[in-house]
Amino acid sequence: MTAIPETVGRSSGRLDGEAKITGRFEYGVDAARPGMLWARLARSTQPHARIVSIDTSAALAVPGVYAVLTGADTEGFVGSRYVRDEPILATGTVRYAGEPIAAVAADTEEAAEEACRAIVVEYESLPVVESVDDALAEDAPIIHPEWESYWVSPIINRPGGNVVSHATLRRGDVDAVFATADRVFEDTYEVPLVHQASLEGRVAIAEVDDDGKVHVWSSHQYPWGLRQDISDILHIPLDDVRVTVTGVGGGFGGKLYAGVEPYCIVLALATGRPVKLRLTREEELTATSPRMGATVHLRTAVASDGTFLAREGRLDYDSGAYAESSPGVVSVGLMTLPGPYRWQALAVDARAIYTNKAGCGSYRGPGAPQAVFAGESQVDRIAREMGIDPLQLRLHNAVRDGDQGPTGQVLEGVSLVETLHAAADKIGWDSAGAGEGRGRGLSCTWWTTTGLPSSADLRLGEDGSLVLVTGATEIGTGAVMAGVAQICAGELGVDPGDLTIESADTETTPYDFGAQGSRTMVAAGNAAIAAASDLKDQMFDLAAAKLGCSPDDLELADGEVRDRDDPDAVLTLADVARLAGTGNGLVGSGTYEQPGTPFDTDSVVGAMIGAFNIPSFATHACEVSVDLATGEVSLDRYVIAQDVGKVVNPRYCEGQLTGGAVQGIGQAMFEEIVYRDGHVQNPNFTDYKLPTMADLPPIEAVMVEVPSASGPYGAKGVGEQGVIGPPPAIANAVRDATGRAIRRLPITAERVWAALRGEES
């Protein structure tokens, strides 16, 4: 681990902060191109139907309309990264209400919208598969009868029917352990679909030049992935696609795959003009990739002293009509359903199931909140029914250094016990109870730092300017514009404000695996350190020759190269850059890729991940008040204690913990995409309830530091654990206050009221 520079560990401002607070910052919704047309999508009014005919003649007659495309014009353009099952415009069959059936380009959004309304479609209705149970029924309609003709990633294990993918985890002899256990606990839990609800929806512009090269400007988290998606979907050579990331007004995983971009491209090709498409809030909530719902069946075997013995579980995730990221999500379910505990045996099955809903995708901690809600809720049931304090039960079973994870990986830098004590101390767990109708709850989580490469170039100009060129995308977290900036500036002995960052353009910046999986600080930060090291080596070689000393005698500080032993031997950064004699200064380059974590490869089948890299741990604790007459729940206190490895920027680190917790509280208490007869009933922020400041207490964040061996200065991924722990912590607090278990989210007053009366929650 390198020495920690003075810039690290302080709450410096972010480099894009002034532009954002003054309104000068350009988000994707603000971007424009000369001569730009506007796109809109006509969408299916049926959740499952055959398309008998489409008449676009009236749409083409709308003044200002330049093109109207249907599935007949886009035949063979099929998306989804792991299973190519989703035509960009429906051909033959629609599989959810809101599926795009036509794309229109016009002078104005209003004209394009009018044209969409003028399209006449005749449907032949098909049976609607609205739930996982419906999809798994013996006589269920098959949503994708053409499955055998699809391209499918070879890792995917698909048994048939409406199952998209099936991943399994097996370790130890589960049947034998259950047969000898003192206690066995069995429960079923349900979690609905919820949405990322980023303030800025999906938006992009596409332009095609005279040579057929495509340039896309997109509010996206992973430009290289989007570039590959575009090439795969539209059969455009990869070298002919450029993606430039605009300002991102929130993503949370919802902007990791191709969304609106292919429509802009096909319309730009058809019209010869740049085309922009931005989705409305209603489209976002009815037709983009929300978090999957899930049904979780769980059995746990326990010894009489509370020692966990074996866990057996089945997670059935609702994938919606298309695969999207579901094969990856089921893999996460295998890793998180066991929780961060020691087990003698495990048997977990995770399946993604097709239904007639919008295709589901990634959302902060994808797959984990569903599994952890079930697992941690049952831990509290075990504790209370066995007369063991829930904190002590978790401490008794918590993993420690050297223990094995669910798939046999050897765990290092384990901090679960530290986070348990920190959260319990903060919430006052050992203090006297607060009285009738009040309760406290805990939950424990663990998470990964996604690997794969990140690269950076660091340019020193002849004027002494410093520019970090990184493929990492700043999505609002501050990971790039604060954290990576502080790391890079610290390595060079300058203030972060002296640094400029250019990021996320597939033509002008080096590769990065994208803003996903809590990886940016670790991967892009390490790449920046490597680039700074390369640049310093070049600078010191040039300066040493000029100053007549050894490179080992030099240091960087306050924007100068100095001989430690000779205070008069000093060169400015500009002086050193000119010594290169190139006219362009110097460039240092660096790449980082997290080494894979060994695990028992025989323990998992059909999983895209088998271990958690640089695992971090967290404990959530809360206190609630419940009105026993109405069932209304008030969240009085909320604490999250999370191991962050090393705090790079306390302000933005705390922001990630508290922001994640707020989203998790929303999923726990308020949020649900409600379907009825295949149609979304609440496609707006009036009816889709998000938490407001009035619903929340101050979130108390405790940052535990147990350094990793490979993160920059010991840092670990931070961004996703906050959203995972709130549902079970709040459910456990409600159980403590009422004596009643809540096994279905969200925890509404109606659901608690029913539970208080002994009805099914």
> pLDDT per residue over 225-278, tens digit each?
999 999 999 999 999 999 999 999 999 999 999 999 999 999 999 999 999 999
384-414, pLDDT tens digit by residue?
999 999 999 999 999 999 999 999 999 999 9
Give per-residue burial for 723-761: e unless 16+ CB within 10 Å, then b.
bbbbbbbbbbbbbbbbebbbbbbbbbeebbbbbbeeeeb
Q: What is the pLDDT of residue 583?
A: 86
Nearest in space to 436 (alpha carbons), one of 738, 752, 193, 68: 738
490-533, pLDDT tens digit by residue?
999 999 999 999 999 999 999 999 999 999 999 999 999 999 99
Q: What is the end-to-end Cα distance of the chain in Å, rounded? A: 51
Tell me the mean pLDDT in the region 708-734.
Answer: 97
Query: How many angstroms separate the CA atoms of 338 and 345, rounded?
Result: 10
* Residue 29, pLDDT above cutoff 60: yes
664-678, pLDDT tens digit by residue?
999 999 999 999 999
Lowest mean pLDDT among 154-158, 314-318, 478-482, 728-732: 154-158
Between 434 and 23, the more confident residue is 23
Q: What is the pLDDT of residue 434?
A: 59
Q: Is 452 left (phi over 0), alpha (psi -120 to 50) or beta?
A: left
Tell me the mean pLDDT in the region 692-712.
Answer: 96
Query: How many angstroms separate the CA atoms of 209 and 269, rounded?
Result: 9
Mean pLDDT over all residues of the chain? 96
What superfamily in CATH does domain 31-126+202-248+255-287 come from?
Aldehyde oxidase/xanthine dehydrogenase, a/b hammerhead (3.90.1170.50)
- In CATH terms, 293-449+612-756 corresponds, of 3.30.1300.10, 3.40.50.150, 3.40.720.10, 3.30.365.10, to 3.30.365.10
* Residue 647, pLDDT above cutoff 60: yes
Query: How many angstroms separate the CA atoms of 119 and 61, rounded?
Result: 11
Residue with token string 């739930």: 131
What does the block give as tokens for 744?
């279905």
* Residue 578, pLDDT above cutoff 80: yes
Residue with token string 């060079």: 492
Query: Residue 497: is it exposed, middle or buried by C-beta count within 10 angstroms (0-12/13-18/19+)?
Result: exposed
* Residue 760, pLDDT above cutoff 70: no
The structure's pTM equals 0.97
Q: What is the pLDDT of residue 511?
A: 97
For residue 468, which amino acid is it?
Answer: L
Evaluated on CA atoms 533, 598, 447, 503, the torsion sign reads: positive
Q: What is the pLDDT of residue 432?
A: 66
717 and 447 in contact (C-beta within 8 Å)? yes
- With the CA atoms of 132, 446, 198 and 82 taken in that order, what torsion angle do they form, in degrees rounded to the nearest 10? -50
Between 419 and 583, the more confident residue is 419
Q: What is the pLDDT of residue 433?
A: 62
Tell me the mean pLDDT in the region 347-361.
Answer: 97
132 and 353 in contact (C-beta within 8 Å)? yes
Sheet containing 214-218, strands listed edge to edge, beginning at the edge strand earlier in sequence? 65-70, 100-106, 37-43, 275-278, 203-208, 214-218, 241-245
163 and 351 in contact (C-beta within 8 Å)? yes
Q: What is the pLDDT of residue 623?
A: 97
CATH number of 17-26+451-592: 3.30.365.10
If one counts every other C-beta atom within 10 angstroms of the C-beta of residue 239, the result is 10
* Residue 577, pLDDT above cutoff 90: yes
What does the block give as tokens for 383?
């504790």
Residues 6+ apart with CB under 8 A from 257: 79, 80, 81, 225, 226, 229, 289, 324, 325, 361, 362
Q: What is the pLDDT of residue 582?
A: 86
103-150, pLDDT tens digit by residue?
999 999 999 999 999 999 999 999 999 999 999 999 999 999 999 999
Q: How far is CA 42 from CA 61, 120, 263, 271, 676, in A?
A: 16, 10, 12, 18, 21
Q: How far is CA 505 from CA 229, 262, 413, 562, 644, in A?
A: 15, 18, 35, 35, 29
Residue extent(s) of CATH 3.30.365.10 domains in the chain:
17-26+451-592, 293-449+612-756
Q: What is the pLDDT of residue 512?
A: 97
Evaluated on CA atoms 548, 549, 550, 556, the torsion sign reads: negative
Local confidence band at 761 (pLDDT 50, 70, 90 cut-offs): low
* Residue 1, pLDDT above cutoff 70: no
**Would you list the DSSP string of 84-114?**
--EESS--SEE-STT-EEEEEEESSHHHHHH
